[in-house]
Structures are given as C-alpha cells and as structure tokens.
Amino acid sequence: MNTTPTSIARIAPGSPENPLTLLRKYWGYPAFRPHQEAIIASIIGHNDTLAIMATGSGKSLCYQLPAVYLGGLTIVISPLLALMKDQVDALNARGIPAAAWNSLLDSAGRSRIEAAMRDGRLRILFVSPEKCLQPGFLEFLQEFPVRLVAIDEAHCISEWGHDFRPEYRDLARLRKCFPSAPVIALTATAVPEVRKDISRQLGLVKPQSFVGSFCRENLEYRVIKKKNPLVQLADICCRHKNESGIVYCLSKKETEECAADLKKRGFTALAYHAGLSRPVREAVQDAFLKNTSRIVCATVAFGMGIDKPDVRFVVHYDLPKSVEGYYQETGRAGRDGKPAECVLLYSRGDAVRIRYMLDHDGAGEQASRIAQKKLRDMTGYCETIGCRRNFLLAYFGEQPARKNCGSCDACTGKVPGTEGKIRSRRSPKRSGSAAPVGVTIPRRTYPIPSV
C-alpha cells in the first residue's frame, strides 16, 4: 500500500494537461487502473517513488504519462533491447516522441537522437544500464532538462533479488546527477527485504511506496511430479489445442528438444534461446505474437516486454531457480484476465542439478548462499500441500484473503495425469522446512532435496 495517499484530482484539476485528459488522449483508456493514479500523482508531486506491480498491471504507464505531463526529458533505464524497441515503437505510434540509445545504434542514429534532444523534441529516452554508466554519457545527459528518471526491473540492483546485476549498483549516480528530478523504481517481483534494498541502493529520498496485489485470480497453479516429461508436456498442450503457450526450459538444448518433439506431434512450436541469432529470435517472437506459432519453448529471457495478452498456459519443464522468477514467468499467462493454467513439472533431480550449477558458477559465497536459499523456497513451493496461491502471496509479504483459493491443485485435491486423466493427491506424512520466512507450509510425502 502507498505510504501517503495522493490523488491526481488535486493536481491542476480541469487544466488541458490534467493527467486523466492525457490518459484518454494518448492511451485511449477511460480511467486509471489500480495504483496508477496514486503513483503518477506521487511523481508529479516530485517524490521519489517505488512501485511494485505485477506483470501486466500497467507499470510502464506510471512513468510514460508523467513524462508527457512534466515535459523536458525522461530517462528510462531498461535492461532489455527488445523491451526498449517495443516501448519506443508503441510510444511513437501514440504521438509521444521516444527513442532508445543502445548498442544497435549506428552513428547516424545517434546523431538523429542527439538532434531531437537538443531541439527539445524528444520526450523519453530509453538507455541500458551499461550504456548509461559509460564514461561521459551521464555528463552528456546533464546538458538536457531531465525531469524524471525511471529505473525498470529495479530488483536487479539488490543482491537479494532473483536477477542481481552488479552494474545496477552504480545507478545511484543518477540521483546525484539529477538531484531535482524525481526517481521512480519499478519491478514486478520484490519481497520486502528487496524493496528496502532497492530504496537504499538507489539513494531514494523519502520514497513513496506502492505495492500492488500479487494475487492473480485467473491463474491456476499446478505441480506435476516429473516422470515422462515430453509425454506430460504434450498432454498439457493437448488440453490447450489452438491456444498460445510458453514452455520454459533450463537449457538451450531442452528448448530445441521440446520444440522438435511437439512439432512431431502436430503442434506449431518454436525454440527460443540466447544461442540463436537476433533475426531468428525476432522472427520467433513475431510468429508467436501473430499466432503462426502457438507454442514457444524458451529459456527464461523469453516473454520480457512481449505484450501478448492471450497466453493460455505456461509450463515449466524444469524447476525454476527462485519463486520470484517463477512468479514473473507465470505472470505472462492470462494477461487478458481470462483463465490460464500454470504447470510445473517437478523432480528432485532438477533440484540437485540446479544446486550443482549454483555450487560451481563462481558467483562468490554470499551470492551462492542467497541463491541456495531461493532454491529451497522454490522446492518448498513444489512440496507444499497447502494452497499454492497463498504460498506465493505469503512469500511476497501479502496476507491471503482466504484459507484456500479453490482453484490450484492443492485446493482441488486433484492433479492432471500424463494422459489427461485426474489423479487424487496422497495425504502427506511429513513436513519440510523450506517455507518462506514466517510462513508455515506443510509438505508432500517425499523429502525435500538437501540444498
């Protein structure tokens, strides 16, 4: 919840630049979604702001609209080139001048952007954290009237976040370079300790904090014990014939194997991973968006910034490394508000494999300890016999509204079998110890892997 209630109604009511007027003019929406109005009012009131909002809840609007309202130049730090391109294209299509300054730019492109900045024609500039921190670039930006700084995927700044990136730590320099510009940090997944760390690391000054609900009522969460994964995957896809879905795999090789097997079974499936060339990756994304390929088998990078509301199922072919990552990836399903299924194929062998990877990735003792803790929490989710939705809510510090959601496999007492049949769960005989801090969660009959 926000620390200080704010309302756009108290900001220049009835003026041509009223934010609600801008919302209707540029985005065509009749009203704001939950938290958007208060977050925008906080920024316009020149407050540093922390926004924790679920995937698909409209985070981008929270800095795009203030950029139009405040004038001058807004700097947006974004870690993904594909996400930058999609947002720049969408903003320009709405009549809001935007550009991305990244490694794909040639000298002519850089000159065009700089000319637009010097003429005052550019409203929003997207920059990667690496580019932003290159020698001389911040000094270059200081030549312009920067009115707002937005940092997307802000959990990357915290060592306790699920996708820690050391270069994000240096983004605190933005606060010093632009002391009069408010800073907004945004993320979809941050537990309470990560939220505090984000504010501290970025040097936010008395930030207004807004935390949306982590409850996605339209998503059905299921965990299936991994036995014959290719058959199980095909069975899930059969339940969603002619519907769009994403299959997340741990390795590049598995994305290729899953896509090839699904093709043999008559599904339109493609693989996506970092080993493919950029044109191929873009072609896969385009095929998925246009429904010429219904299923994409991918590593975790796929889906970031892709605005496809009708994804009806997300399958985790392997165990995710963290609850945060799992939540973010399942959040790409059902963004249109209609029912969607999230299935995780779970085996103790996957946990052992990931533990081995973490032990040998050379990340350092502290980082390894944090990663192992997150893996324990993830196995705890898989082992629970309690409500899976409530497990996720408790993990992110949200109080569940009721004891059972009534739709996850734990609450219904049933799990889809590998041939599309329904099997009842066995009653648990023991409990484990991998629950989120402060949460007591009963476990399945077999022991949690020692991680």
DSSP track, 240-289: TTTSEEEEE-SSHHHHHHHHHHHHHTT--EEEE-TTS-HHHHHHHHHHHH
Task: Say if CB 86 and CB 307 are below 8 A apart.
Answer: yes
Compute the distance between CA of residue 379 and CA of residue 376 in angstroms, rounded to an integer.
5
| pLDDT band (50, 70, 90) for residue 54 | confident
pLDDT at 93 over 90: yes
For 330, phi then psi, to 5°, come to: -65, -25
Range with lowest mean pLDDT among 27-41, 127-141, 218-232, 409-423: 409-423
Closest CA to 76 of 120, 134, 132: 132
Q: What is the pLDDT of residue 81?
A: 77
Q: Average of pLDDT values for 375-380? A: 95
| pLDDT band (50, 70, 90) for residue 302 | confident
Angle at the Cα of 15 from the Cα atoms of 11 and 21, rounded to 5 degrees:
85
What the chain holds in terms of domains, given with CATH numbers, is 8-211 (3.40.50.300), 219-424 (3.40.50.300)
The DSSP-derived string for 180-234 is: TS-EEEEES---HHHHHHHHHHHT-SS-EEEE-----TTEEEEEEE-SSHHHHHH
Supply 429's token pair.
């005989």
3-class SS of residue 410: helix
Q: What is the pLDDT of residue 422?
A: 35
Q: What is the pLDDT of residue 5?
A: 40
Task: Say if CB 338 and CB 366 are below 8 A apart.
Answer: no
Task: Say if CB 17 and CB 24 are below 8 A apart.
Answer: no
**pLDDT tens sequence across 157-193:** 876 666 677 778 888 889 889 999 999 999 988 888 8
Compute the distance between CA of residue 264 and CA of residue 11 in angstroms, rounded to an integer.
59
pLDDT at 85 over 70: yes
